[in-house]
Amino acid sequence: MAIKTSDLNAKLFGKADKRRATTPQEAQKAAKEQAQIIELAVAGEELVAFELMRIPANQVEKETVVFAENAREQSFLNEHALSDVLSTLKERGQQYPAVGRRRADGKIEVLDGSRRRMSCILANKEFLVYVAENINAEHAKFLSDVANAHKPLSLYEKGKEMQSKLDSGEAEDQKALAKMFQCSEALVSGALKAAALPLELLQAYPNVADLGRPTIVKLHKQFSELDTSKQAKLIEKCHDQGRLVWQRSEAQGVARITKDVSETLEEWIEELAPRKRSAVNKIDLVKGRVSYTRKGNNLALNMKKIDDKTMKEILQFVESKLQ
DNA sequence: CAAGCCACCATTGTTTCACT
DNA sequence: AGTGAAACAATGGTGGCTTG
């Protein structure tokens, strides 16, 4: 999919109303020409000079870090989650530089463009970033937040933010959160559930941003029904074999892989939980002779001391019932 | 009584499949 | 090969049920 550099651009310099040079057009022009130095008004306050730096592909991981308060969960950034950026990056290189600030230790802290950064690492490409020397924490957070408007955060990431608002007391309850984040209550409930799930489990999926509420809710229900040791085992299963779950799937297309992973996880959970319940559910229908166990939709009958005639009748009944 | 959860519904966008 | 229909998944909303 030939994305969307135009979209990205519009959002970057138009809608989001940030990085305003004197006019959005000028900033756009500057970015296109990849000017060496541009001046931007950060958060509508003073002008800051940003210098364009080129980080060689093999230095990106070493020389740059992602702003710690960035809401985007870095470990979700894989080739599927970044497919939109990667396609154009591979063809034509990085179209629009990221934005960062210089840290005291000399490293560049990326405020806007963490997805582009990771894409460059994955694709082994040069990373372009506008760097400013003096950006305070508040402005850094501003730039980072506005930047995240490009690509909506996943349920998990939203959930993490909501949870922290809840913890800090900025939001009273889920209703308040819904209002604050401009979304439905149902979504708040789902997002919080997503955030409650362990990272490792979500990393089983090719693209966490694609996971919808129903998927999360279902997963959360299944997962929370396991006891802690079973949960740990499940997580272990997710990253033994050295590969993540989605990397083991043969299916084509992200949607298919996602479905595949869901089914795999479901199977594992089923395996892990032959559960105490089946023991509890083992019911003596006729003492000493007949018992049955119920597992999901399955029924296992166990009968003793059955003569041929009775067996025939029972089998016939089952056959007629289920055909 | 209120908050949260859950199940159901209508709508929408995407993807796939079949038919021309 | 292209186009249209149908199936699927996700979203936001509502109302009812449970629990503290």
Residue A141 CB coordination number (10 Å): 17
Distance from CA(A266) to C1'(B6), angstroms, rounded: 20
Residues A15 and A141 in one domain: yes
The yes-or-no verdict on residue A132 having pLDDT over 80 is yes
Q: Which nucleotide is nearest to A184 (CA to C1')?
A: C12
Residues A259 and A209 in one domain: yes
Residues A132 and A52 in one domain: yes
Of A87, A79, A96, residue with least CA distance to A34: A96
Q: Which nucleotide is nearest to A214 (CA to C1')?
A: C10
| A15 CB below 7 A from strand B atoms | no
The yes-or-no verdict on residue A50 having pLDDT over 70 is yes
The pairing of beta strand A108-112 with beta strand A127-132: unpaired
Task: Give the pLDDT score at A1.
Answer: 27
The yes-or-no verdict on residue A182 having pLDDT over 90 is no
Residue with tokens 């651009």: A9
Residues A223 and A265 in one domain: yes
Q: Which nucleotides of strand C are protein-proximal, with an atom < 7 A from a CB?
A: 9-14
Task: Give the pLDDT score at A128.
Answer: 92
DSSP 8-state secondary structure symbol assigned to residue A77: -
Query: Do residues A165 and A177 make contact, with C-beta atoms less than 8 angstroms apart?
Result: yes
Q: Among A20-29, A63-72, A218-227, which stretch is predicted with the lowest mean pLDDT?
A: A20-29
Task: Give the pLDDT score at A204.
Answer: 73
Using DSSP, state whether A302 is helix, strand or coil: strand
> Which of these three, A137, A167, A196, is where a domain ends?
A196
Amino acid code (one letter) for A42 = V
DSSP 8-state secondary structure symbol assigned to residue A65: E
> Which of these three, A258, A273, A288, is where a domain ends?
A273
Q: Which nucleotides of strand B are protein-proximal, with an atom < 7 A from a CB?
A: 3-8, 15-16
The pairing of beta strand A47-55 with beta strand A127-132: antiparallel
The yes-or-no verdict on residue A258 having pLDDT over 50 is yes
Task: Give the pLDDT score at A303.
Answer: 67
Residues A117 and A87 in one domain: yes
The yes-or-no verdict on residue A219 having pLDDT over 50 is yes
Task: State the pLDDT confidence band at A21, using cuts at 50, 70 and 90.
Answer: very low
Q: In terms of residue numbers, what domain contains A240?
A: 201-273
**Mutual angle of helices A213-224 and A185-196, in 10-degree steps:** 50
Of A209, A198, A205, residue with least CA distance to A247: A205
Residues A282 and A234 in one domain: no
Residues A36 and A162 in one domain: no
Number of domains in chain A: 4
The yes-or-no verdict on residue A188 having pLDDT over 70 is yes
> Which of these three, A165, A196, A227, is where a domain ends?
A196
Residues A237 and A292 in one domain: no
Residues A118 and A176 in one domain: no
Residues A112 and A205 in one domain: no
Mean pLDDT of chain A: 70
The yes-or-no verdict on residue A84 having pLDDT over 60 is yes
Residue-wise pLDDT tens digits, A220-231: 777 766 666 777
User: A3 or A240: which carries more pLDDT confidence?
Assistant: A240
CA distance to A13, A15, A19, A118, per residue, from A46 (Å): 18, 20, 11, 30
Label residue A98 left, alpha or beta by phi (over 0 means left) and psi (-120 to 50 means alpha).
beta
Residue-wise pLDDT tens digits, A155-171: 777 777 777 777 666 66
User: What is the pLDDT averaged over residues A249-273?
Assistant: 65
Residues A43 and A88 in one domain: yes
User: A318 or A58: which carries more pLDDT confidence?
Assistant: A58
Query: Per the structure block, which two tokens stand in for A137?
Result: 């924490």
Alpha-carbon dihedral angle through residues A62, A68, A70, A75, given to the nearest 10 degrees:
60
Residues A263 and A211 in one domain: yes
The yes-or-no verdict on residue A56 having pLDDT over 90 is yes
Task: Give the pLDDT score at A6.
Answer: 35
Query: Do residues A205 and A246 make contact, with C-beta atoms less than 8 angstroms apart?
Result: yes
User: What is the pLDDT averaged over residues A198-205?
Assistant: 75
Q: Among A68-77, A233-242, A267-276, which stretch is predicted with the lowest mean pLDDT?
A: A267-276
